[in-house]
A and B are shown apart, each in its own frame.
Chain A
């Protein structure tokens, strides 16, 4: 029957006046409760006559890196106190590993500086970073615009098949999720409206509320937010991975502009598909409103549709479509910008995807506010 391993222990004895003998007992393995090297420090402090440190390991039943880590600390302590370390008593393997751990001295300047950066310095660094990042963003928008102008002139280098593939990915393949979200948004709007309007007996105006909200802004916004999370992140991850794999370098050295070859098709595809998705989202939202109108408010479906048709003007429709084109370009730009800026590691790809979604959603909200304000000012 296997013997129960001894609990690891550290004890001291003084064979001569100037020698401290450390006796190691039991199994020194990671995961066990280990004695601290501070006990050795206490021994050094209590008696300054110690000039030599030796080991007795006759009762050591097992060891791994746990013992070695403790011995490295003991070695450092003996160096600090100018005490000779006699390792003869240690097992051969431990001796070799200990000498290996001591063979290359520690580089002092490699550790991260623990000194905190002054507040003003941090503000300055962040400001410079912000200015640089704003400059990069503007440069990217400029390059994207130049690529678009080249496309209009028929001089842009890209593959048509890539454009159609991206159109399919960000158009038809997005329909199921756009349907679900838009119907739910229509339902929510109608619910909220119904509760309030029923108090005045004006349930029929739920159709106006849902229709105008969806067509003028909510359809475009919801489609854009879905595309930011779905396609914008995918663009960033795809381009980021290409950056990591040096695929973008390979394009550049061939003299092919990544802006034309990679960014342009994505931008065109989203700018083309977003208005269609927006229209689809409008219809789905109105359908969601209709469900609430018919089931909760006992409205006739035909009456509901007629009311919606009367409420939604062409102005609302064009404003909604304009929103969607702007959002399409913004989502594509945010995704491609973050993808092209991606670092050369796996974590950088994740950061690029996250950053693309955040940038796109912030841009969508800011653009919505600006467009709404301008529409108010010019009276449409």
Chain B
């Protein structure tokens, strides 16, 4: 809870400087529109939550923001640069400042954990092999995986894979970190530890963090800004601090989601009052 308060304060301080802006975005698969008219700004230093029910298009939105899928319409700006309108080389340059933790980790299975973390360093730095090995070991130790350098992804647990993938995502000390369903498939304790890690990283790296999730525990533990995607209307129907949305939103769909159909809401509100 202490962390949440700290983030909130810093989030307010950084609120003046937009980092990523999504303007009038429509996403579609062929003629099937997934979401339309998305407009929001992520400020530098935010922990921004993209939330909504299963299958509402959260991961698709992330794919568009990181260059894996072209939008049907609209723009994504990184520091004022229109991401989909610049040439691919420039897009690669922008993406070099972005780290991504995929839902299933997406570690390269034919490489050891150290090689996974080392690959971005080999590609984009002039470090010697021994220096790269040292940095890779350091990154792995930051996520609690010291000593696992020579393990293959198939030899470790799901939680460890996620942490190793996080080490790879922050190999190049990115300004922006994307997390796709970080707690999916993890037990509550591992999920909580990962949330703590996200907060720690946000504090120490000062990065802007975007988390795609529907896990209420994570949303309230780390988020200081958010949007809510609604699959029925195919657009975002709420935005802002999730704690504030929980208290102030009058939209039944948002309330229903944030209170897990009503049951958890009272508990959360109670928790927040205690915290405040």
Query: Are B98 and A250 within 8 A (Cβ)?
Result: no
Query: Are A255 and B92 within 8 A (Cβ)?
Result: yes
Asked if A249 meets B109 with Cβ closer than 8 Å, knowing A254-B95, A254-B119, A255-B96, the reply is no
Over the window 98-122 of chain B, the binary record of Cβ atoms lying under 8 Å from chain A Cβ atoms (1 yes, 0 no) is 1010111011111000000001100
Q: Is A84 an interface residue (CB 8 A)?
A: no
Asked if A245 meets B109 with Cβ closer than 8 Å, knowing A253-B67, A253-B68, A253-B100, the reply is yes
| Closest beta carbon of chain B to A315's beta carbon, Å | 42
Query: Are B68 and A249 within 8 A (Cβ)?
Result: yes
Q: Is A29 an interface residue (CB 8 A)?
A: no
Closest to B88 in A: A255
Q: Is B31 an interface residue (CB 8 A)?
A: no
Q: Is A77 an interface residue (CB 8 A)?
A: no
Partner of B109, one of A162, A242, A252: A242
Query: Are A249 and B106 within 8 A (Cβ)?
Result: yes
Q: Is A25 an interface residue (CB 8 A)?
A: no
Closest to B63 in A: A249
Determine chain A's interface SS by DSSP, over half rule: helix
- Kindly identify, within residues 233 to 283 of chain A, every residue whose CB is under 8 Å from any CB belonging to chain B: 241-242, 245-247, 249-256
A255 neighbours in B (Cβ, 8 Å): 92-93, 95-96, 123-124
Q: Is A157 an interface residue (CB 8 A)?
A: yes
Q: Is B236 an interface residue (CB 8 A)?
A: no
- Kindly identify, within residues 192 to 249 of chain A, every residue whose CB is under 8 Å from any CB belonging to chain B: 241-242, 245-247, 249
Closest to A256 in B: B123
B123 neighbours in A (Cβ, 8 Å): 157, 254-256
Query: Are B103 and A246 within 8 A (Cβ)?
Result: yes
Distance of A241 Cα from B93 Cα, bound (Å): 28
| Closest beta carbon of chain B to A120's beta carbon, Å | 21
Q: Is B66 an interface residue (CB 8 A)?
A: yes
Distance of A256 Cα from B106 Cα, bound (Å): 15
Query: Are B68 and A247 within 8 A (Cβ)?
Result: no
Asked if A247 meets B106 with Cβ closer than 8 Å, knowing A253-B100, A254-B119, the reply is yes
Distance of A81 Cα from B182 Cα, bound (Å): 52
Distance of A254 Cα from B106 Cα, bound (Å): 12
Over the window 52-63 of chain A, the binary record of Cβ atoms lying under 8 Å from chain B Cβ atoms (1 yes, 0 no) is 000000000000
Distance of A252 Cα from B120 Cα, bound (Å): 11
| Closest beta carbon of chain A to B96's beta carbon, Å | 6
| Closest beta carbon of chain A to B89's beta carbon, Å | 9
Partner of A254, one of B93, B107, B120: B120
Q: Give the one of A162, A241, A252 with max B CB within 10 A.
A: A252
| Closest beta carbon of chain B to A263's beta carbon, Å | 15
B100 neighbours in A (Cβ, 8 Å): 250, 253
Distance of A92 Cα from B92 Cα, bound (Å): 62
Query: Are B106 and A245 within 8 A (Cβ)?
Result: yes
Distance of A139 Cα from B93 Cα, bound (Å): 24
| Closest beta carbon of chain A to B239's beta carbon, Å | 25
Distance of A359 Cα from B98 Cα, bound (Å): 38
A254 neighbours in B (Cβ, 8 Å): 95-96, 119-120, 123
A245 neighbours in B (Cβ, 8 Å): 104, 106, 109
Closest to A238 in B: B110
A253 neighbours in B (Cβ, 8 Å): 66-68, 95, 98, 100
B124 neighbours in A (Cβ, 8 Å): 255
Query: Are A246 and B104 within 8 A (Cβ)?
Result: yes
Distance of A249 Cα from B102 Cα, bound (Å): 9
Over the window 283-321 of chain A, the binary record of Cβ atoms lying under 8 Å from chain B Cβ atoms (1 yes, 0 no) is 000000000000000000000000000000000000000
Distance of A159 Cα from B96 Cα, bound (Å): 19
Asked if A247 meets B120 with Cβ closer than 8 Å, knowing A253-B66, A253-B95, A255-B95, the reply is no
| Closest beta carbon of chain B to A109's beta carbon, Å | 13
B63 neighbours in A (Cβ, 8 Å): 249
Query: Are B68 and A252 within 8 A (Cβ)?
Result: yes
Distance of A11 Cα from B98 Cα, bound (Å): 70
Distance of A247 Cα from B104 Cα, bound (Å): 10
A242 neighbours in B (Cβ, 8 Å): 108-109
Closest to B169 in A: A250
| Closest beta carbon of chain A to B133's beta carbon, Å | 14
A157 neighbours in B (Cβ, 8 Å): 123
Over the window 71-105 of chain B, the binary record of Cβ atoms lying under 8 Å from chain A Cβ atoms (1 yes, 0 no) is 00000000000000000000011011010101110
| Closest beta carbon of chain A to B209's beta carbon, Å | 16
Closest to B96 in A: A255
Distance of A253 Cα from B68 Cα, bound (Å): 7
B67 neighbours in A (Cβ, 8 Å): 252-253
Closest to B122 in A: A159
| Closest beta carbon of chain A to B83's beta carbon, Å | 12
Query: Are A247 and B108 within 8 A (Cβ)?
Result: yes
| Closest beta carbon of chain A to B173's beta carbon, Å | 14
Query: Are B96 and A250 within 8 A (Cβ)?
Result: no
Distance of A164 Cα from B65 Cα, bound (Å): 36
A249 neighbours in B (Cβ, 8 Å): 63, 68, 102, 106
Asked if A250 meets B106 with Cβ closer than 8 Å, knowing A157-B123, A256-B123, the reply is yes
Closest to B68 in A: A249
Question: Could you pull out 29 A-B pairs where Cβ atoms are within 8 angstroms?
Answer: A162-B110, A245-B109, A246-B103, A246-B104, A246-B106, A247-B106, A247-B107, A247-B109, A249-B106, A250-B100, A250-B102, A250-B106, A250-B107, A250-B108, A250-B168, A252-B67, A253-B66, A253-B68, A253-B98, A253-B100, A254-B96, A254-B120, A255-B92, A255-B93, A255-B95, A255-B96, A255-B124, A256-B119, A256-B123
Taking Cβ atoms with an 8 Å cutoff, the residues of B that contact A are: 63, 66-68, 92-93, 95-96, 98, 100, 102-104, 106-110, 119-120, 123-124, 168
A241-B109, A250-B100 known, 16 other contacts, Cβ within 8 Å: A157-B123, A242-B109, A245-B104, A245-B109, A246-B104, A247-B106, A247-B109, A249-B102, A250-B106, A250-B107, A251-B108, A252-B67, A253-B67, A254-B95, A254-B123, A255-B93
Q: What 10 A-B pairs have minimum CB-CB distances, sorted nearest first?
A: A255-B92, A246-B106, A250-B106, A246-B102, A253-B66, A247-B106, A247-B108, A253-B100, A249-B68, A255-B95
